[in-house]
């Protein structure tokens, strides 16, 4: 027998990518039940090549389910994940609702797969897409060199803010295409008018140095998952990168600074990373580690035009790393540029991978029983 899986939020942006991934990966599941809001119930969606009727989210929807993957806003996850657990499922949650809970492990299989085994609440959380974009490469380097400080500047795609983010960039690009806008203060702002969508400033022909939970989340999201900001001035995204990197790497005192920026890219987040280690580093050593690390692709030959860019990385699974340099002023620090698809490794893929860890654990338990 195989474990039965529920996908909650099956019709959403991350849910759709998740259904695709479940269809591509080795099939480890018994039934795959698709669950969504009552609005989507009754619709037919495809998973593993089969048209499957969507079931409305309710307590009964979790009957007989062993693993439930949640790809829904924070408020919905906060309310329904405990219901799924009470019905006997282990929950893998993509939202921000449980990431900071000390009784909920935050898991990235390439980095801390064993953390998934200790889950007092029956819930496993997966990090935010910006943390996920950098953490696989950093985990590999940390294992060798011992990380002690991280400075991350992100370049985040608009799909991080959901379909509204994508629609907004497309609409703004049409408003500015073929014009000479972008040459005088305020001209782009006037052209895009009140179509800012989930962003605090125009994103077409621009970069926006403020990325937070409230931008791009549907009204059903609660602010409860936002980390506290004792100093003031930090966006929730920046604080999440700090807290989540510390938790995944098991380094509660790691020095982390993030500046999170939205750029006019549809999908795939990028980041420039300054990582300082306990030990001296070399570029050759870092190349060797990154080239061998599961889930990482090294693309680092700038003289030949080889470095990761979002438009090449979109739709792929790995974290791509390039521009690896040793700091000119610090032999213990590396500079890197990383790119990863924020909807795949940044969300759906990591959820699927954690679910597959559980399926293996379930199968081992069955064999042992």
Tokens of 70: 């949640």
Residue 259 contacts ligand 2RA per CB under 6 A: no
- Told to judge if 269 belongs to the known catalytic residues of this protein, a careful annotator would answer yes
Q: Which is nearer to ligand 2RA, 128 or 350 (CB)?
A: 128
Residue 12 contacts ligand 2RA per CB under 6 A: no
Query: Whole-number minimum distance, CB 86 to ligand 2RA, in Å?
Result: 27
Beta strands in 25-146 (DSSP E): 32-36, 44-47, 50-53, 55-56, 67-70, 90-93, 123-125
Residue 324 contacts ligand 2RA per CB under 6 A: no
Residue 227 contacts ligand 2RA per CB under 6 A: no
Tokens of 321: 């790393």
DSSP per position, 170-226? HHHHHHHTTS--SSSTTHHHHHHTT--TTSSS--TTS-BS---SSTT--TT--GGGS
Q: Which is nearer to ligand 2RA, 32 or 161 (CB)?
A: 161
Q: For residue 139, report the phi and psi dihedrals to the nearest 5 degrees.
A: -60, -40
Say which of 4, 129, 260, 339 is annotated catalytic: 129
Residue 270 contacts ligand 2RA per CB under 6 A: no
Helix, strand, coil percentages, rounded to 5, for the chain: 35, 20, 40
Q: Which is nearer to ligand 2RA, 109 or 160 (CB)?
A: 160
> Hey, which residues between 116 and 145 contact ligand 2RA (CB under 6 A)?
128-130
Q: Which is nearer to ligand 2RA, 11 or 235 (CB)?
A: 235
Q: Which is nearer to ligand 2RA, 3 or 197 (CB)?
A: 197
How many whole angstroms separate alpha carbon 91 and alpha carbon 218? 22
Residue whose C-beta lies closest to ligand 2RA:
160
**CB atoms inside a 10 Å sphere around CB 154:** 27
Residue 104 contacts ligand 2RA per CB under 6 A: no
Residue 161 contacts ligand 2RA per CB under 6 A: yes
Question: Which CB contacts under 8 angstroms, 24+ apart, belong to 54-63?
Answer: 54/10, 54/11, 57/8, 59/83, 59/87, 61/6, 61/33, 61/35, 62/6, 62/87, 62/88, 62/89, 63/87
CA dihedral 224, 230, 235, 237 (to 10 degrees): -60
Rg of the chain (C-alpha set): 21
Say which of 4, 142, 260, 269 is annotated catalytic: 269
Query: Whole-number minimum distance, CB 65 to ligand 2RA, in Å?
Result: 25
Residue 350 contacts ligand 2RA per CB under 6 A: no
Q: Which is nearer to ligand 2RA, 99 or 119 (CB)?
A: 99
Spatial contact of 108 and 132, defined as CB atoms under 8 Å apart: yes
| Segment interacting with ligand 2RA (CB under 6 A) among 15-23, 144-152, 156-164, 285-293 | 156-164
Contacts with ligand 2RA by CB under 6 A: the residue count is 9
Q: What residues pair up with 106 in beta bridges, in sequence order?
A: 125
| Segment interacting with ligand 2RA (CB under 6 A) among 25-33, 153-161, 292-300, 330-338 | 153-161
Query: 3, 160, 322, 355: which one contacts ligand 2RA (CB under 6 A)?
Result: 160
Residues classed as catalytic:
129, 269
List of residues contacting ligand 2RA (CB under 6 A) = 128-130, 156, 160-161, 211, 216, 237
């Amino acid at each position: 027998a195989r474990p039965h899986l529920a996908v909650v939020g099956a019709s959403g942006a991350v849910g759709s990518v998740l259904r695709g991934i479940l269809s591509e990966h080795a099939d480890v599941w018994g039934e795959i039940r698709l669950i969504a809001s009552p609005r989507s119930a009754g619709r037919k969606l495809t998973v593993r090549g089969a048209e499957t009727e969507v079931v409305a989210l309710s307590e009964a929807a979790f009957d007989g389910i062993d693993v439930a993957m949640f790809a829904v806003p924070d408020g919905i996850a906060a309310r329904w994940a405990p219901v799924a657990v009470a019905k006997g499922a282990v929950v893998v949650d993509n939202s921000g609702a449980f990431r900071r809970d000390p009784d909920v492990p935050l898991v990235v299989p390439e980095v801390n797969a064993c953390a998934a085994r200790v889950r007092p609440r029956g819930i496993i959380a997966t990090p935010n897409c910006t943390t996920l974009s950098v953490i696989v490469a950093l985990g590999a380097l940390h294992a060798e060199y011992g990380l002690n400080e991280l400075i991350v500047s992100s370049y985040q795609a608009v799909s991080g803010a959901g379909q509204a983010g994508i629609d907004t960039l497309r609409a703004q690009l049409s408003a500015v295409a073929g014009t000479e806008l972008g040459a005088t203060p305020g001209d782009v702002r006037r052209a895009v008018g009140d179509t800012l969508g989930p962003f605090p400033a125009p994103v077409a022909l621009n970069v926006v140095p403020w990325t937070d939970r409230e931008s791009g989340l549907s009204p059903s999201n609660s602010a409860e998952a936002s980390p506290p900001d004792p100093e003031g001035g930090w966006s929730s995204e920046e604080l999440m990168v700090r807290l989540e990197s510390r938790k995944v790497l098991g380094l509660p005192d790691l020095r982390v600074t993030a500046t999170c920026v939205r750029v006019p890219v549809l999908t795939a987040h990028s980041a420039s990373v300054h990582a300082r280690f306990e030990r001296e580093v070399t570029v050759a050593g870092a190349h060797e580690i990154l080239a061998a690390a599961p889930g990482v692709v090294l693309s680092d030959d700038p003289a030949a035009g080889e470095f990761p860019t979002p438009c090449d990385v979109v739709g792929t699974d790995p974290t791509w790393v390039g521009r690896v340099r040793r700091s000119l002023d610090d032999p213990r620090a590396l500079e890197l540029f990383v790119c990863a698809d924020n909807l795949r490794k940044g969300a759906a893929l990591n959820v699927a991978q954690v679910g597959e860890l559980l399926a293996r654990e379930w199968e081992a338990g069955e064999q042992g029983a």
